[in-house]
């Protein structure tokens, strides 16, 4: 019976190395036992001998969350994810769909991890482009009195549309910083509300829709409606974006 089991292991490793998909077999210490050519090609490892190599060697940028997942698998869990951002050894961003489960030895003890991945970068990028283009907020921005804004948390850069600059009465070439933008909101309740909303959006992904008082660059007090949405990947807020609308006329009318 033991010899039959050994034969099955040999057959399984042969299947993995010849598989047309990206698949890898790791031991309990997350060192490579076998992998397919597709695995090497997908992760830019074609010219690297990774057999017996520690899994995090070729993937030094893997997040702590990913490492926690693998530890759960080593305890018997089966894990999968449809869209995971991965930074490859050549610094490129790749989106992968993956499935991970434990494999067991003759005594039914967990002896390592089997991983199967699929590159879905093109599909994810297309979906995100379509979502961005179709966002109702940005359709509304065709109206002159509504502007757009976007804050890139990775680069720490804030971008305003021309309509947003016009609402603030700043020059068309004005490039704001985040702290400068907050100072346009009236000191007190309005500034406190937008500051708290911004913080909650970063930490919890909470969207917001607020009506606040703002003082333009020319000192004119106005009312604005500011809408913000956050985009998270792997628990990290990459950016916030939204709209800014001058609602002074409606507020005064009310």
**Which of 227 and 53 is assigned the larger pLDDT?**
227
Name the pLDDT band for 223 (thresholds 50, 70, 90): very high
% helix, strand, coil for the chain, step of 5: 35, 35, 30
The Cβ of residue 113 has, within 10 Å, a number of other Cβ atoms equal to 23
Tokens 């966002």 belong to residue: 135
| Rounded distance between C-alpha atoms, residue 185 and residue 191, angstroms | 5
**For residue 223, what are its two tokens?**
């009312």
What tens digit of pLDDT does each residue of 55-103 get?
Answer: 777 776 677 777 888 889 889 988 888 777 776 666 667 778 888 999 8
pTM for the model stands at: 0.48
| Rounded distance between C-alpha atoms, residue 66 and residue 48, angstroms | 22
What tens digit of pLDDT does each residue of 13-44 get?
Answer: 677 877 888 888 888 888 888 888 888 887 77
What tens digit of pLDDT does each residue of 108-160 get?
Answer: 889 888 888 888 878 777 776 666 555 555 555 545 578 889 998 878 889 99
Kindly state the DSSP code that residue 71 receives in the 8-state scheme.
H
Name the pLDDT band for 213 (thresholds 50, 70, 90): very high
Among candidate residues 242, 77, 249, the one with its CA nearest the CA of residue 160: 242
Q: State which H helix or E strand residue 12 sits in.
A: helix 2-18
Kindly state the DSSP code that residue 186 receives in the 8-state scheme.
P
Asked whether the predicted pLDDT for residue 49 surpasses 80, the reply is: no
**For residue 133, what are its two tokens?**
């283009």
Max CA distance (Å), the chain: 87
C-alpha 165, offset from chain centre: 29
DSSP, collapsed to helix, strand or coil, labels residue 110 as strand
Pairing between β-strand 146-152 and β-strand 157-160 as defined by DSSP bridges: antiparallel
């Amino acid at each position: 019976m033991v010899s039959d089991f050994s034969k099955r292991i040999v057959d399984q490793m042969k299947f993995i190395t010849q598989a047309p998909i990206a698949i890898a077999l790791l031991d309990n210490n997350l060192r490579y036992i076998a992998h397919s050519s597709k695995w090497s090609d997908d992760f830019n490892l074609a010219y690297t001998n990774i057999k017996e190599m520690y899994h995090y060697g070729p993937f030094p940028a893997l997040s702590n969350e990913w490492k926690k997942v693998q530890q759960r698998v080593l305890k018997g869990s089966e894990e999968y994810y449809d869209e995971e951002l991965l930074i490859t050894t050549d610094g490129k961003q790749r989106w992968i769909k993956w499935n991970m489960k434990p494999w067991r030895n003759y005594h039914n003890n967990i002896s390592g991890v089997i991983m199967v991945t699929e590159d879905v970068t093109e599909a994810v990028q297309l979906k995100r482009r379509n979502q961005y283009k179709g966002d109702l907020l940005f359709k509304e921005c065709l109206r002159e009195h509504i502007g757009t804004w976007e804050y890139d948390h990775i680069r720490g850069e804030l971008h305003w549309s021309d309509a947003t600059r016009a609402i603030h009465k700043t020059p068309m070439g004005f490039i704001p910083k985040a702290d400068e933008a907050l100072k346009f909101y009236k000191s007190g309740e309005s500034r406190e509300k937008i500051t708290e909303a911004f913080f909650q959006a970063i930490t919890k992904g909470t969207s917001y829709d607020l009506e606040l008082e703002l003082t333009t660059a020319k000192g004119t007090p106005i009312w604005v409606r500011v809408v913000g949405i956050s985009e998270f990947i792997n628990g990290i807020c990459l950016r916030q974006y939204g709209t800014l609308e001058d609602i002074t006329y409606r507020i005064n009318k009310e």
